[in-house]
Structure 1
C-alpha cells in the first residue's frame, strides 16, 4: 500500500476480514463511501518529493496571531488522514536536520496493520529513529513515534518526564487513533511549548484538540487547500480560527525548522 501511495495512489482502505466483529461490513461500507465522497469533491493533488518548487503565496485567510518571541517548541505534533503519508514524508524531509532537536508524535489515520510499517518506512527514509509507539514509551528528542492503528495515543507527565499513554477508548470523530486525543493531552503536558501541524485529511479531527493547544499558548499550523488532497481537517482548523499559519505543503517544513531552531525562514 505504501508503494502504491508512492506511485500516485491518494488513499487506501484495508479489506474487511471475515473474522471481524459483527457490524464490520457496515463500518467498511461507511468508510469507503466517505472516502469516495471526499475525493470526489476535491481535485486530488499528489505532493512531489523530488524537487522543491518555488514557494506559493500563503492563502489570504485570517489566522490566529503568532506570539512574538514565543516559547521554544519542545515537541512537534502532526495529525493527518487522507493523503497524509506522502504529506508527512514531505514535511519531515524538509525539516531535516532539525529533527534531531525535537521529539515528533504522529497520528495518521491508519489501520493497525499499517502503522508499524509506516514508522519503519519513515526511519528508512529519514535515517532517524522512528517506530510505532508503545504504552509508557519516553518522548525522546530526535525520535519519531507513530500512533498505533486502533489505539488512541496521548502523552502524560510521569516523574517529570513526558511519556506515551495508549488507550482503547471509544473512537472520536469516528477515529481511533484520533488527533484530538493527542492534541488535548499534549496541551496539558507541553502548554505553549507544543508545536502542532494539521495536514490533509477528511473530517474535522484535530479541531477540538487544537482549541486546547491554542488556549495553552501553543502554535498550530494548517496545510492550505491548494496542496491538500482533502481540505477537511486543516480546513476545519482554519475555519475555526485556530491556525497561526496556513501554508502550502512545500513551505511547512521550512516554517517548522525556523520555529524549532529559532532561525528566520
Structure 2
C-alpha cells in the first residue's frame, strides 16, 4: 500500500488558508504528477496522496480535505464504490472523478454525478504529450479552485451552510450585484432556433431543461455545446434523449439542421452553423481550443447568428470560465436574445455570470424557470 498523508490540520482554519486536496489514484505516476501540480499553487495544498478508495475512506476524517480527486479504477475499493462512503462521512466534500476516456468510464462518471460527485475530469491517454498534459493541468486546477468554494465557505467562521449549488471562490472583478444587473429587451421577433451552452454542472442541468421544453423541440432545432471530451458526449446524448423523450445525437459534419432534433457538439470538435443553399447545416471544425475548450460555446453562438440573425435565442447554463459571453455579444449585436441561469441554481456561476455581467442578457433565471420561459418565448411571448 502506498499512502502519503500530511500532518493533521490546525483548528481554526481561515478562509485564507489553502484549499486542502486529497489525491486518490492507484497509479503512482498520476498521483505524483497531480500532487506536484497542486503543491506548486500557493492557494492549494495536498493533505493526502492515496492508492485506493479504501485508503481514502479510512483517512478522510483524519486529513479533512476540502476536495478529493478520485480515480474510478482502483483495487480494493474503486471510485464509484468509495464515493457514497466518502460523502456519508463528509457531506460537504467536493469530489472530482478522474477517469480515462472509455465508454465504461464515461458511463460511470455520469452516474457519479447523480450520486453526489461535483464534477469529473478525463485523464489524457498519455501525459507525455505536452499539450494534453497542459490542458489536463489547467482544467484540474480550475475545477479544484472553483468547486472548492463550497467547503471553504462552510469552513469560514460564522458562515451558514449553503445549499447544494456552488459558486466561484471569488466573484469576477467589479461584478455587479444580481439585482442591479442590466437586462435587455427580448428580440422583437419570435426565435427560430435554440442554442444552449454549458460546462461544470451542465449534464444535470441539461437533462432537467430538455425534459421541460418538448413543445420547443418539436417545432424548432436545438443545438447544444457542453464542455466534454469524446465518448462522454456520446453517452450524454443518450441520456439527454431519454430525458427529452426525443432524438438527441452528436452533430455530423454537413447534416441539415431540422426541427424536432437536438444536436450535441461532439467531444473534441467545435460545432458551428453553416449554410447549404437556403438551409442551415452542421459544420464541425478540428481547430485549436477556444477558451481552453473543445468543443466551445462561442463558435456555435457566433456562427448561428449568421443564419438566424435576430431570431436566435441562446441560453448560458452553469459552468466555469466565460465561454459563451463573446458569442452572446454577437447574438445580441444581431438582434437576438440571451438568457443566463442564475447564481443560486448554478453549480458554478462562471459562464452565466460572465454573460450577465456583460449586460447582454434579457433574463437571468433559476434553472426550473428557464424551460417554461422558453416555451412561452417560442410561442410568441416577447416579454
TM-score (norm 1): 0.90
CA shift, 1:125, in A, is 2.0
CA shift, 1:176, in A, is 1.0
Residue 343 of structure 2, aligned match among 213, 225, 232: 225
Which deviations, in whole Å up to 9, do the C-alpha atoms of 1:172-196 show, x marking residues without a partner?
Answer: 1111111000000011111111110
Change beyond 3 A, Cα 1:20–1:165: farther
Who is 1:101 aligned against?
Answer: 219
CA shift, 1:150, in A, is 0.8
- Tell me, yes or no, if the aligned pair for 1:137 and 1:163 is still in contact at 8 Å: yes
1:246 and 1:67 map into 2 onto residues whose CA distance is: 12
Who is 1:62 aligned against?
Answer: 181
CA shift, 1:17, in A, is 1.2
TM-score (norm 2): 0.63
CA shift, 1:63, in A, is 3.1
> What secondary structure, in the 3-state scheme, does the structure 2 residue paired with 1:94 have?
coil
Change beyond 3 A, Cα 1:67–1:145: closer
- Tell me, yes or no, if the aligned pair for 2:317 and 2:346 is still in contact at 8 Å: yes
Q: Which has the larger radius of gyration?
A: 2
Residue 138 of structure 2, aligned match among 19, 30, 36: 30
Residue 84 of structure 1, aligned match among 202, 227, 231: 202
- Tell me, yes or no, if the aligned pair for 1:44 and 1:229 is still in contact at 8 Å: no
Who is 2:129 aligned against?
Answer: 21
2:362 and 2:262 map into 1 onto residues whose CA distance is: 24
Unpaired stretches in structure 1, ≥5 consecutive residues = 48-58
- Tell me, yes or no, if the aligned pair for 1:180 and 1:206 is still in contact at 8 Å: yes
CA shift, 1:156, in A, is 1.2
Residue 136 of structure 1, aligned match among 248, 254, 257: 254
Who is 1:6 aligned against?
Answer: 114
1:101 and 1:61 map into 2 onto residues whose CA distance is: 35
Who is 1:119 aligned against?
Answer: 237
Change beyond 3 A, Cα 1:37–1:163: same
Change beyond 3 A, Cα 1:93–1:191: same
CA shift, 1:9, in A, is 2.0
Q: Which moved more, 1:214-223 or 1:35-44?
A: 35-44
Corresponding pairs, count: 253
1:182 and 1:21 map into 2 onto residues whose CA distance is: 28
- Tell me, yes or no, if the aligned pair for 1:8 and 1:46 is still in contact at 8 Å: no
> What secondary structure, in the 3-state scheme, does the structure 2 residue paired with 1:17 have?
coil
> What secondary structure, in the 3-state scheme, does the structure 2 residue paired with 1:112 have?
coil
Residue 270 of structure 2, aligned match among 141, 152, 164: 152
Do residues 177 (structure 1) and 285 (structure 2) align?
no
Who is 2:21 aligned against?
Answer: none
1:202 and 1:244 map into 2 onto residues whose CA distance is: 21
2:272 and 2:261 map into 1 onto residues whose CA distance is: 16
